[in-house]
Amino acid sequence: MADKLERAGNLKESTKLIRLTVNGQLYELTTGDDVEPAGAPSYDVYPWDRLVYTLRERLGLTGTKLSCDRGACGACSVLLDGKLALSCLLLTVDCDGKSITTIEGLADPLSGALHPIQEAFVENNGAQCGYCTPGMIVAAKALLDENSSPTVEDVKWALGGNICRCGNYRSISQSVLAAAEKTKTRAERTE
């Protein structure tokens, strides 16, 4: 951290420090619009870097997938300040000061226990090839945060922006409904 602050104190005028809280951890990244003479990057993030790139390539969080690259498939879904967002359509610099949750941030950070939605996807065969699964689970999380008792139609609507190329929609819907029940049951046990 001291190294980052010292580096930030020595930054050029065109350089800016942006802060992202990803899965509860604060990241301070430098951004600017030029490159070193040899062509090597001189910043953590460039103004044109999209959030999906920063998550995957800079922070090593590869659970968020890049598929269509146009915001049409949902594979890159994350929660941005608690709301569903497509990280392939967001510039990292526009996320300064925001809180981002990726698929990696859903599991319990201490025990590693899966989130109830993740458990439900495993138990109900909600994944086939698995490529769309992180985006589906994040979209399901956004739905269940707003509606703890969704209908099948609610699930279809909420996950309508996510494409499963394997066509596993029935098991995905069953997984989300099972996750809603699982979440309710756990909430009742803690009361």
pLDDT of residue 3: 52
CA 98/CA 92 separation, integer angstroms: 10
pLDDT of residue 38: 58
pLDDT of residue 8: 47
Give the model confidence (pLDDT) of 11-50 as tens digits: 455 678 999 999 999 999 999 876 655 555 578 998 999 9
Q: What is the pTM of this model?
A: 0.87
Phi, psi of 29 (to 5 degrees): -120, 140
Starting at the edge strand that comes first in sequence, how are the strands of the sheet with 77-80 ordered?
Answer: 25-31, 16-22, 99-101, 77-80, 83-86
pLDDT of residue 157: 97
| Residues of the chain below pLDDT 70 | 1-14, 34-41, 187, 191
pLDDT of residue 40: 57
